[in-house]
Amino acid sequence: MRKVLRIMGLLLAVVVVAAVGFVVFVSARGIPSYDVPKPTGMPLIEATPARLAQGEKLVLSSCADCHLNRQTNRLAGHRLLDTPPEFGGLYSANITQDKEHGIGAWTDAELVTLLRTGVGRDGRFRIVMPSFVHMSDEDVSSLVAFLRSGHEWVRPDPTPSHEQEPSLLAKALVNTVMKPTPLPAGPVVAPAPTEAVAFGRYLVVGRYKCYDCHSKDFKTNNSLEPEQSEGYMGGGNKLLNLQGQEVYSRNLTFDAETGIGDWTEAQFAQAVKYGMTPRGPLAYPMPKYSQMDDEEVHALFVYLQTLPKISNATAEDGGAVAAR
Ligand code: HEC
Ligand code: HEC
């Protein structure tokens, strides 16, 4: 008996030492750095009018909410009010063309690496910044072309990017589960809009990453194989608005009771583009995809119908359904 107790005591001591060691390691290491992956076979990105227009559309829907400073009307970054307070103080970066404080001195390849993997030119992992693993090369090029353009959002702004103030929890996560994503092994090409289902999937996992917010939880999302994310497109991800209040993402599968199975395509278009639903307006952080074209809306609507229906009631379904 005494021997058993001694062994258990020893084991406990080992566990405590390991835990303390982990905490010390994590707080000293902070946000980790990696070797900077280099995209191969990437020609210099040419700024065609089509790319500039596409880049503006994508930045408006997918980057501005985090990077645009509404006072200066520049993508100069700011404190993110909608990240969980237990992660510490998190700030988006200055991505204007300022050479010292923005991305003016970054090469196209460095920008592509950051957008695809989350690793910056200095090797530091950028936390919170979504990585666009499945975005097509053409869309990524459009983003880079826009960042280099004459648009007023990207004109040089000398505001320094704020350093991150991650909590111990955030540091523990970036040293364990949150990792950069790898660069794609080959070219990434978007399906043609006429292939509605394939194109709709591309919009959900690649171009707009709807699945990121609309699956169960960021922590169980699978960025390499999005469909493997828990509750893929079934909603219920606990997000925050700018006042720090909880806003749950909604079920976008075609379950008639708790999803959007009883919606028409016209209703869906209103919701996605203007945030208007049959049950009232949609709140932040649901983006307004006001520049989305009819082909995109149609493809999304068609693709969502092909997904397994998930029964997951969120607040908008009303007390009776939600309580079931
Ligand atoms: C959810 C909020 C969020 C969204 C959406 C977002 N970003 Fe970021 N971005 C961040 C944060 C946070 C950082 C990292 C700041 C840091 O760690 O220094 C960052 C960093 C960057 C950087 C690196 C700049 C630097 O100096 O470190 C670039 C470039 C960038 N973002 C571009 C974009 C583009 C382009 C989009 C849209 C396709 C986008 N971001 C969408 C939050 C976001
Ligand atoms: C940044 C997170 C985020 C992203 C990205 C996002 N959504 Fe949402 N979406 C939300 C939230 C949160 C709500 C609920 C808002 C509310 O409660 O007012 C919502 C609500 C909706 C609704 C209303 C559903 C209902 O039952 O009322 C639709 C439709 C929708 N989103 C479609 C999309 C599509 C399509 C995309 C991609 C093109 C997308 N969303 C991307 C967060 C997001």
- We report the CATH number of the domain holding residue 168 as 1.10.760
Domain residues for the domain of 72 are 49-174
Q: Which ligand is nearest to the CA of 211?
A: 2
The reported pLDDT for the residue numbered 140 is: 97
Atom of ligand 2 nearest to the CA of 283: 18
Nearest CA to ligand 1 atom 42: 129
Alpha carbon of 17 to ligand 2 centroid (Å): 45
**The predicted structure's pLDDT at residue 302:** 98
Q: Which atom of ligand 2 is nearest to the CA of 62?
A: 5
217 in the same domain as 155: no
pLDDT for 122: 96
Domain end point (choices 174, 204, 224): 174
Q: Please indicate, yes or no, if residue 44 is contained in any of the structural domains.
A: no
Is 160 buried (19+), middle (13-18) or exposed (0-12) by CB count in 10 A? middle
Confirm whether 101 is domain-assigned.
yes
Ligand 1: atom nearest CA of 90 is 12
Same domain, 54 and 166: yes
Within-domain flag for 5: no
CA of 214 to the centre of ligand 2 (A): 7
Let me know whether 56 and 160 are in one domain.
yes
Q: CB within 8 A of 293, min separation 6: which ones?
A: none
Same domain, 161 and 122: yes
What's the pLDDT score for residue 167? 93
Question: Position of tokens 């191969």?
Answer: 40
- Tell whether ligand 1 has an atom less than 6 A from the beta carbon of residue 129: yes
φ and ψ at 119, to 5 degrees? Answer: -95, 125
Residue 186 lies in a domain: no
The CA 275 to ligand 2 mean position distance, Å, reads 8
d(CA 61, CA 293): 13
Provide the domain count of the chain: 2
Q: 214 CB less than 6 Å from ligand 2?
A: yes
169 and 207 fall within a common domain: no
**Cα distance between the two ends of the chain:** 50
Does 15 map to a domain?
A: no
Q: Taking the C-alpha atoms of 226, 229, 235 and 241 in order, what is their torsion angle to the nearest 10 degrees?
A: -80
Same domain for 307 and 203: yes
Residue 278 Cα to ligand 1 middle (Å): 33
Could you tell me the distance, in angstroms and rounded to a whole number, from the CA of residue 110 to the centre of ligand 2?
Answer: 31
Does residue 110 fall inside a structural domain? yes
Query: Percent helix, strand and coil across the chain, each rounded to 5?
Result: 40, 5, 50
Q: Write out residues in the chain with pLDDT < 50, as ranges.
A: none
Task: Indicate if ligand 1 lies below 6 Å from the C-beta of 120.
Answer: yes
pLDDT at 283: 94
pTM: 0.94
Asked whether residue 230 is domain-assigned, the answer is yes
Radius of gyration of the chain (CA): 22
DSSP 102-123: SSTT--HHHHHHHHHHSB-TTS
pLDDT, residue 10, reads 83
Gap between the Cα atoms of 80 and 89, Å rounded: 8
Residue 20 located in a structural domain: no
Task: List C-alpha distances in Å: 199 to 7, 204, 245, 295, 300.
Answer: 59, 9, 34, 9, 8
